[in-house]
Structure 1
């Protein structure tokens, strides 16, 4: 399913009417709950004819049992703008969470081996009381995003197909050992996907305190210019945190 979704994203990279987010995840406290809740998900939107959308999604809609195919086909439907805003609404994880990201280009899309390794590691998630659980989401880029030159704005990621965000979460009231186990798992989960050579770019809105060369990963060649802007408009570094521009 994820392989099909990646190919669809490549095929529709220049189509401004289409957007897709896919991922895998789970939640729960016990091993049985974590295994039972593990699964894949997809959500998105298309500004066009319903039959056109089903044709675009055909490689995904043709996967699974007859019952699964029927259910997935029925989930692709025409809605009003108000209904769409409800269906597409999402929040960042509440309570405690950590994330690691990567910008995937057409040359660094996930292989079947990488997806399989991530799926295996997902089932080894240590669990927590946070219903947000753990896993990864892939947010498709393309469209107008990729039409802007990388040096035109602070946002440098203009040649990507997806932003991948690997996440784990735990509750405020979980004991410290749960947080430690989740952070350790996240590092292993990310490494199971990318090994020791992850993609060079990461998304600054998914900050990763463990990222070594975060300046280039977040901002690329734009970083030095952003430092000059920061010195001009925030000379005292009022807007500052450990990965702030100029630190």
Structure 2
């Protein structure tokens, strides 16, 4: 943050402490101090020289960082786990910033996962209207017909959700093993979207991997490896999100 004025809730969110929406609630609840004075009005602005406290804890002004992790299977998409299981931040050793994953990949799902300390960036990407293209490759039990697969585009009802794919592409079939490998493209990303969608059609997912997230791919990475996003990649993703949620 420079010396120009920024909205207080935006600065809090960018620090990675919480989302912008929760930051707004903290302000309204009188949990935020600026220069030792409680600030409870939304729209209040601050600069880089101001001292900010969240629930009595000084706000650390970290530079924003953005990472892409090739998440392996059998790993929790969190910064900690009360059962002692491996979490995604275990793979990013030597990083001093308080990073956290943007969204989630299931325990048994591998592939692209983004991590950051920029709460505003994360909140933007997780906005319900953000239609970033995500491509998954699934190995499923059974060989559905073209008519059944066509239902993916129309929508499959699961509980109270209508789960849709924007596109699909059959990569291979194995009649002896009665399996199919299919590429599925999503714009939205509801909880266990691909798995629930295929289960409703009667073809459970045996293995699932997210291979692309917008312009980002897994090229050059092995499971458990990560890399920093370059400024161009961050800008592309941010601009796309900003266009959609306006």
TM-score tier by shorter-chain length is under 0.3
Q: Larger RCO: Structure 1 or Structure 2 (Cα < 8 Å, ≥ 6 residues apart)?
A: 1
TM-score (norm 1): 0.23
TM-score (norm 2): 0.23
Which of structures 1 and 2 has the bigger CA Rg? 2
More helix per residue: 1 or 2? 1
